[in-house]
Structures are given as C-alpha cells and as structure tokens.
Structure 1
Amino acid sequence: MDEKGTMGQGRPLPAPLPDLENYVVDFDGDDDPSHPYNWPFTVKIYTGVLVCSGTFITSLASAIFAPGSDSASKEFGVGAEVGKLGTTLYVLGFASGPVIWAPASELYGRKLPLAIALLAGGIFTIGSAVAKDIQTLLICRFFAGMCGASQLTVVPGVLADIYDNTRRGIAISLYALTVFVGPFSAPFIGGFLATSYLGWRWTLYIPAIVSLFAGALSVVFLRETYAPVLLMTKAAEMRRQTNIWGIHAKQERMEVNLGEMAKKYFTRPLTMLLTEPIILLVSLYMSFIYGLVYALLEAYPYVFENVYGMKPGISGLPFIGLIVGILLALAFILLEHGSYAKKLIANKGVPVPEWRLVPPLIGAPVFTIGIFW
C-alpha cells in the first residue's frame, strides 16, 4: 500500500472483512491433539528431557571453570581474584539474559530462543577456551552466561506449555534438580579436568562441545510448544490451502513496541517486586540461596584443599553430599505432590498457591540448620 492509501496502480482499498473474529484460528476444543497438553506422553517426556539437559549443561558450565581459574590466572599473569571473575561474570550473564529471552520466547516461541542460545553459548565458551588473554576469556564468559540464561528463563515456560496443573509441579521439580545439580557437579568434574594432562582449557571445551551438540539436537528434534505460535503455523497452513488471506492467529496482531516490551518485562516486574511483600521476600530468599550456592563453590575447595590437604578434584567430592540432599528434597516433593493433586481435583482444577507452601515451610529451617552443621 502506498502513501496515498491505495493498493497501487490506482486501485482503491478493498472492503474490510465483515467480522474479523471469524478469521481467527483456535484449537478444536480441549481435546485437540495439536494442543501441547494433548501430545503423546512419550513426546512430552523427550521434550522435557531435551530442554532439561540444556539447563543442566548451562548450569554445569557456570561453575566448571572455577577449579581451573587459578591455573588460568597464572597463565595470564593476573591475580587469583581476577581469574575468579570467570565464574562471577557468567552468573551476571545469567542475571542479564532474561531481559532478552523472556520477550523473545513470547514473540517467536520457545524453540528458537532455546536452540539459538545453546549454539551461541557453545560458541562463546569456545571463545573462552581459546582465549589468549584474560580480557577475552572474561568477556566471552559473560556472553556465554547471558546465552545460558535462556535455559533458566524459557524452559519453565516449555514445561508449563505441555503439562497441566496436575503434572506441572512434578516437571518443574525435575527441572529444578538440573538447575542445582549442574553447579554442584562442576567442582569435582572441573577439578579432575584442570589437574589432568588436559589442563584448565578443557573445563571450557567440554561444556562448549556438549552445548553445541544439545543445540543441534534442539534444532532437529525440539518441537515448538508455545500455543500462540502453533496457532500462527496453523493459520499459515490454512491460508495456503484456502487462499483466504484474512485467516490469522491473534499472535500475528502483536506489534513489537519497545516501550510496551520495557513496561511488560522490566517496569512491571520491578514494580511488583517493590510493592508486593510476598514477591519481595521470596525473591530475596531465593537470591540468598542462589548466591550461597556459588559462594560454596569457592569456599568448599579452599577449605578442603588448604585445611584438610585434599587434592583438586578430590576437594570437590564433598559436593556429592549436597547433591544427595537435593535428591532427598526432590523425593519429598514428589511424595507430597499426591496430596496436592487430590486437593486440585477436589477444587475442580483451580490451584491455590498456598498449597505449595508445605515443602518450603519444612525446607527453610532444615536449610538453616544445615548451614550451621
């Protein structure tokens, strides 16, 4: 359409569609097999395994460099504190990435951000591995962390797309397992690699290779799970089949407006954080726990190497105790989920947030006791 509001060649605009809503595609009821809720169980399982494995890889990559940071510092002639920034900047990348990946997953679906981030994260990690100076290593670590944030941001959305309220809690619990087991596995894996003939660079090569492999698998095998984007695909197919070009999905009406995106993904969450006491307290608590995880990654090896005389790699084995604790917590959550499911059925499928508070009410004091043990 040109500036005069015509179709070109002097043709006027055609008449508007009589009722735009009649041209909007939707799913064929609650039991539509194309809706992710109704996918075969095997498809849901392999989708969950695929996205959670990506989460494990990026979580592992966040801390696997830590055991080799001292060797890298010596090679580049900088202080040990500077070398440890390789882990710090990766985690800062985790914090920065959601600003990109959250809106991308709602505009373009889940598959594209996950696959791109795994491939890009692998490339940046290779950049860290081949770095000739500390600046390159640290910059690449930051951007690798920013890419890794895609797994932490988008994967819960994937699981929410394919599982209803009855099973979603189980799926999210298994996802949370990969978030924490990854960094707790890193000290002994990275420690043995850094002290072997392979050297500290292989603490970066290995996660890079695995990340690229997982990204390739996502490109080939991961199915799109975001319902609005699936409806866009359905609408495009119907347009081709019928030549009725007014057929569309509601998602296609969305316009990329930077102001609205900033309001939705930055201003609004920040406002909720500052004005909702529950959100503020839970966020502070989870931030403390997550920060403590990475503090332990530096403290444990130091204590067990310098106080107890353990060798690198061996000094990371005490983290197995933390992994066992996480597995026990997962078992408790899965056992408690049965009672949650019964309440959900009795309440006609309407969830009540407070029903989820039983595990945290028990876990919070146990966590505190564990710190002082």
Structure 2
Amino acid sequence: MDNDEYEQSTTVPQHALVSEDVDWESHPENPRNFSLQRRVASTVAVTFLALVSTLAASIYSPAHAEVSEEFNVSEVVAILPLALYNLGLAFGPLVGAPLSESCGRKVVFLSTTPIFAAFTLGAGLSRSVAGLNVCRFFAGVFASPAISNASATIIDYTAGRYRGVSLAFYYSIPFFGAVSG
C-alpha cells in the first residue's frame, strides 16, 4: 500500500466529525476555572488522603511483634501484612488509574476511600492472621488511588505557573505519613 492509499484509508469522513467546538479555557466545568477556595480545598483533600494512605502503610510496622504473639506466628508471617499492603498499593493503580480516566477522579476517590476505610477497620478487628493479610492487601488496593491519582487531580486544578508549588506540597506530605507511621 503506497502513502496515498494509506492516507485515504485512514482519513475520517467530514460528516463523522463533530462540528461543535467547546471553549474549554473559559468553560465553567473546567477545574481551573473553579474558585480559588475550591481548588485549594480539593488540593488539600487529595493530599490528606495520600497522607492517610502512606500512614496506613507504615503504622503497622511497630505492631508486628504483638501480631506475632497474638496469633502465635513467626516474625516473618507477622511482617507479611506490611508487605501485602504495599503490594496492594502497587496493584491498585492498574485498575484505579484507568477508572479515573473513564469515570472521573472524583468518582474513584469517593468510592475507593470508604472501601479502604472498611478494609482497614477489618484488619484492626481481624481474629486471624489470614483475615489480617487479606484486609491489609485490599486496604492497599483501595488506598492506592489516593496516591496515584492525586497528582493528576492537582494538575487538573492548577495552572502551569503554580503547578510546581502545588505538586511540591503534594509530594512532600505523603512522605511525612510514611515517616510518622
């Protein structure tokens, strides 16, 4: 197939194009056109969710000796819930990121955060090490959008000249969650 035939086969017919243009820069639903208060509140909210998600990862660390004693398991098995939470954080974006692009970030945040909280509560109330492991893994899966989608949310809200400061604020706060746990 030569170049002319290729161009003809890949050209979209004119009648298939949408003729309605939207001026997105001034559109009221553009997140950058929201009030400063709403943009700052949203940035603080997603940053706080990321802080909680990273805090939940590391807060288990001091408890592994008690878990070992409580469930009568080895130290290695008692550390497993920490690793499983982090594994959940790694696997969560495989589903959470595409969902946030198709359904919207707000929907993903509002649906995964309560599920994360429920699995965290389940881990705390668990009566077996298996239940603890399962709950910690799924808590990590459902906590991950708070970390993986937050920077995209901040970019949606922030104009280019302020983006560096906003992202620096966001990226520093989850670090404190991991350190303080």
Match of 1:111 in 2: 106
Match of 1:30 in 2: 25
Q: Which amino acid aligns with 2:63?
A: G
**Structure number with larger C-alpha Rg:** 1
Quote how far apart the aligned CAs of 1:33 are: 3.5
* Aligned counterpart for 2:18 among listed residues 7, 17, 21: 21
Q: Which amino acid aligns with 1:131?
A: S
Q: Classify the secondary structure of the residue corresponding to 1:21.
A: coil
Q: Deviation digits for residues 234-264 of structure 1, max 9, x if unmatched?
A: xxxxxxxxxxxxxxxxxxxxxxxxxxxxxxx
Match of 1:145 in 2: 140
Contact 1:89–1:142, Cα closer than 8 Å, also in 2 = yes
Match of 2:85 in 1: 90
Q: Deviation digits for residues 201-247 of structure 1, max 9, x if unmatched?
A: xxxxxxxxxxxxxxxxxxxxxxxxxxxxxxxxxxxxxxxxxxxxxxx
Contact 1:37–1:164, Cα closer than 8 Å, also in 2 = yes
Percent sequence identity is 29
Q: Distance in 1 between matches of 2:16 and 2:74?
A: 69
Q: TM-score, normalised by structure 2?
A: 0.87
Q: Distance in 2 between matches of 1:29 and 1:45?
A: 21
Highest RCO, 1 vs 2 (Cα 8 Å, sep ≥ 6)? 2
Contact 1:66–1:86, Cα closer than 8 Å, also in 2 = no
Greater fraction of residues in helix: 2
Q: Distance in 2 between matches of 1:88 and 1:25?
A: 49
Q: Distance in 2 between matches of 1:143 and 1:30?
A: 39
Q: Distance in 1 between matches of 2:61 and 2:123?
A: 13
Contact 1:59–1:178, Cα closer than 8 Å, also in 2 = no
Quote how far apart the aligned CAs of 1:182 are: 0.3
Q: Deviation digits for residues 19-66 of structure 1, max 9, x if unmatched?
A: 6513x562x352333311122111110011111111111110001011
Match of 1:128 in 2: 123
- Specify whether residues 77 and 25 from structure 1 end up closer, same or farther in structure 2 by C-alpha distance, changes over 3 A only: farther
Q: Deviation digits for residues 119-158 of structure 1, max 9, x if unmatched?
A: 1111111111111110110111011001111111111110
* Aligned counterpart for 2:152 among listed residues 129, 148, 157: 157
| Structure 2: runs of 5+ lacking an equivalent | 1-14
Contact 2:24–2:30, Cα closer than 8 Å, also in 1 = no
Q: How does 1:359-370 map to 2 (within 5 A)?
A: none
Aligned length: 167
- Specify whether residues 167 and 60 from structure 1 end up closer, same or farther in structure 2 by C-alpha distance, changes over 3 A only: same
Q: Deviation digits for residues 303-340 of structure 1, max 9, x if unmatched?
A: xxxxxxxxxxxxxxxxxxxxxxxxxxxxxxxxxxxxxx
- Specify whether residues 25 and 121 from structure 1 end up closer, same or farther in structure 2 by C-alpha distance, changes over 3 A only: farther
Return structure 1 stretches of 4+ with deviation > 2 angstroms.
28-34
Q: TM-score, normalised by structure 1?
A: 0.43
Q: Distance in 1 between matches of 2:92 and 2:111?
A: 13
Q: Classify the secondary structure of the residue corresponding to 2:149.
A: helix
Please say if 1:79 is aligned against 2:89.
Answer: no
Q: Distance in 2 between matches of 1:145 and 1:29?
A: 36
